[in-house]
Amino acid sequence: MNPPPNLTDPLVLFMPSGKRGRFPKGTPILDAARQLGVYVESVCGGRATCGRCQIEVQEGHFAKHKIHSALDHISPKGAKEERYEKIRGLANGRRLSCSATIEGDLVVDVPQDTVINAQVVRKAATDRAIERNSAVQMCYVEVEQPDMHRPTGDLERLKAVLEADWGWKDLRVAQHLIPEVQKILRKGDWCVTAAIHKDMEFSRATLIALYPGLKNEAYGIACDIGSTTIAMHLVSLLSGRVVASSGAPNPQIRFGEDLMSRVSYVMMNPDGREAMTKAVREAVNGLIGKVCAEGGVDARDIFDCVFVGNPIMHHLFLGIDPTELGQAPFALAVSGAVQGWTHEIGIAVNRGARFYMLPCIAGHVGADAAGMTLSEGPHRQDRMMLLVDVGTNAEIVLGNRERLVAASSPTGPAFEGAEISSGQRAAPGAIERVRIDPATLEPRFRIIGSDRWSDEEGFGEAAEQLGITGICGSAIIEVVAEMYLAGIISEDGVVDGTLAARSPRIIQNGRTWSYLLHEGAQRLTVTQNDVRAIQLAKAALYAGIKLLMEKQGAATVDTICFAGAFGSFIDPKYAMVLGLIPDCALGEVRAVGNAAGTGALMALLNRTYRREIEDTVRRIEKIETALEPHFQQLFVDAMAIPNKVDPFPKLAAEVTLPPRRTAPDETGQGDAAPRRRSREERAARRGR
């Protein structure tokens, strides 16, 4: 227990945490921060050599005209700090908190350097200031030399000073270091920097790496292993800065485009699991090489790695056979957070580096959904928040501080452009935006790789260069929604063949009708079957969301976050017009990018987020749609556009919707009628 503060002592306020306390004059600011639990990095342990403990005294800059200038309230630079400034430089206004002492009331700004770089890939982390408290701490110490009078081992003397100087009691030592310690101590002339990993795996802090002299660098990676794309951030654990971000395709695609075909590959091939594990780990290593090259970082300086991924990626990456995830009861091998040594899973970073993988929520709601939850924080606020990550499987989380529910819904691959006649992956030349004139039914569109609309000057050149090759996932939503808004399809999704009289774009296709979007080297149409595929996908998503809303007893949601690549590129308006998501003020629908990756980044930079997401995942109620008899009815009801039963007053306030007709008669639509998939078929199609 600290003694009660003397009210005549100076008051110090730390920002951005807001923590405050009174300290006797002469107290180093770093000590005050430590006592208040404000995380200020320090590697050299107060020797004014590492420069990691820099702070700014806000009032010195922003309130110069106040009666008490901060310059009187902080000690002038001493010899050590001046030496540091001379050798390493010190930005204007920055001070070393280990050397600067409190001499009066102060507002101390602890810089949070987390600035996300320009994103190279589409899976982007959002800008977000994350208070640092990483699992790795670098500790410089000066070790007592051996003494024949007291013959303790070199390692024991190292541990003793790490306890005396840094408070690491009962430190564990990574086994591979034991043969190295003696030589490193001598190489550093008894001055070494210890990398200490302080996460929970062993209930004890662990020495994971040791360097001669002062080692002033420590990095980590946060990685989202998606089934299509692997995205990675390289982060300085000492400054919190994202040094580089990059992405790479998941090479497992060669074993199967979607998750279920990869599970099938494992079931069919005795070495299938091993081959896919190897492929994804190699890709992760390749990406580590890429971000390290980009950031000018040695991969051996990476000490901590955080991974997220859907359950099947999670299992394959950890070397677990995912077969059980392909069949009821979809049993996860492990659902809790997994920690371990990176070298045991073949990740090429520091030999002593650790990894942490976020917990999975359920058999189809993975560590990526946990990452998204951690990032967007429904559990940290009061409003009814809906999180959706759309892939082959949609992962859905709904709730607030009080209660969270989660489910996955078998949307199938239509949203990704598969099973769509003119669909393709997002790539240059793919149509990504569509508008249809309700009067003429003429479309205009944009393709990836060009900023211009198809009716703008200069578009032709781009189109010639790139080609107009297909319709990507986000544009499928848009074109179907625009077809609905233009009256080309009814709210039950039937292409109105009578319009052929008005426009040559309505063309017959056997017993049904299609809409001709583009005629060129390739003929791009939206067929009745395409519309049906989108209807089935959106009905599955909407029914899943609706089920969770019912579980929550929520008639509406307050805010919607769309995560993932799909979420980043669709226009929320069209998503709502089609009825993918429930009614909500359009301003409250956000694309949150690669929220799973952002969650991994948070867990990397601040280990308290690990406990937070572990606790949260334990609390989340998991709903299995296949076990809910009501889900079938919700699914049928959701086939209509926007859907059959729900009004969309907030959407209607912003978008002119076609007049609602009576419920369509499902009979008599020939082969254009949406066929309800059997439960088995849908189960077999699961996976993102």
The site for a copy of itself (CB under 8 A) is made up of: 146-156, 170, 172, 175-176, 178-179, 181-183, 201-204, 318-321, 324, 328-336, 338, 340-341, 344, 360-363, 622, 624, 626-627
- Tell me the residue type at 493: G
**586 secondary structure, DSSP code:** G
**Nearest one of 629, 633, 638, 473 to 540, comparing CA atoms:** 638
- In angstroms, what is the minimal distance from the CB of 533 to a copy of itself? 27
- In angstroms, what is the minimal distance from the CB of 669 to a copy of itself? 34
Residue 413 backbone phi and psi in degrees, to 5: -90, 5
Of 156 and 455, which has the nearer Cβ to a copy of itself? 156
- In angstroms, what is the minimal distance from the CB of 612 to a copy of itself? 18
- In angstroms, what is the minimal distance from the CB of 147 to a copy of itself? 6
Q: How many residues does the chain have?
A: 688
Tell how strand 302-309 and strand 354-357 pair up. parallel
Could you tell me the strand order of the sheet in which 394-399 lies?
Answer: 589-593, 559-563, 385-390, 394-399, 404-409, 621-622
- In angstroms, what is the minimal distance from the CB of 384 to a copy of itself? 23
- In angstroms, what is the minimal distance from the CB of 286 to a copy of itself? 23
Structure tokens at 79: 């010899």
- In angstroms, what is the minimal distance from the CB of 173 to a copy of itself? 8
Of 622 and 677, which has the nearer Cβ to a copy of itself? 622
- In angstroms, what is the minimal distance from the CB of 183 to a copy of itself? 7
Q: How far apart are CA 580 and CA 586, in angstroms?
A: 13
Of 359 and 642, which has the nearer Cβ to a copy of itself? 359
- In angstroms, what is the minimal distance from the CB of 412 to a copy of itself? 20
Tokens 């703008």, residue? 456
Residues pairing with 28 in the sheet: 101
Of 241 and 622, which has the nearer Cβ to a copy of itself? 622
**629 secondary structure, DSSP code:** T
380 within 8 A of 599, measured Cβ to Cβ:
no
Of 257 and 321, which has the nearer Cβ to a copy of itself? 321
Both ends of the chain: CA-CA distance in Å? 52
593 within 8 A of 563, measured Cβ to Cβ:
yes
Of 335 and 350, which has the nearer Cβ to a copy of itself? 335
Tell how strand 470-471 and strand 430-436 pair up. parallel
Of 352 and 417, which has the nearer Cβ to a copy of itself? 352
**119 secondary structure, DSSP code:** P
408 within 8 A of 365, measured Cβ to Cβ:
yes
- In angstroms, what is the minimal distance from the CB of 341 to a copy of itself? 6
Of 43 and 626, which has the nearer Cβ to a copy of itself? 626
Tell how strand 302-309 and strand 338-341 pair up. unpaired
Of 387 and 626, which has the nearer Cβ to a copy of itself? 626
DSSP letter string over 39-99? ----SSSSSS-S-TTEEEEHHHHH-TTSSS-HHHHBPPP-HHHHHHHHHH---TTEEETTT
**508 secondary structure, DSSP code:** E
Of 268 and 439, which has the nearer Cβ to a copy of itself? 268
Could you tell me the strand order of the sheet in which 506-509 lies?
Answer: 506-509, 512-519, 523-526
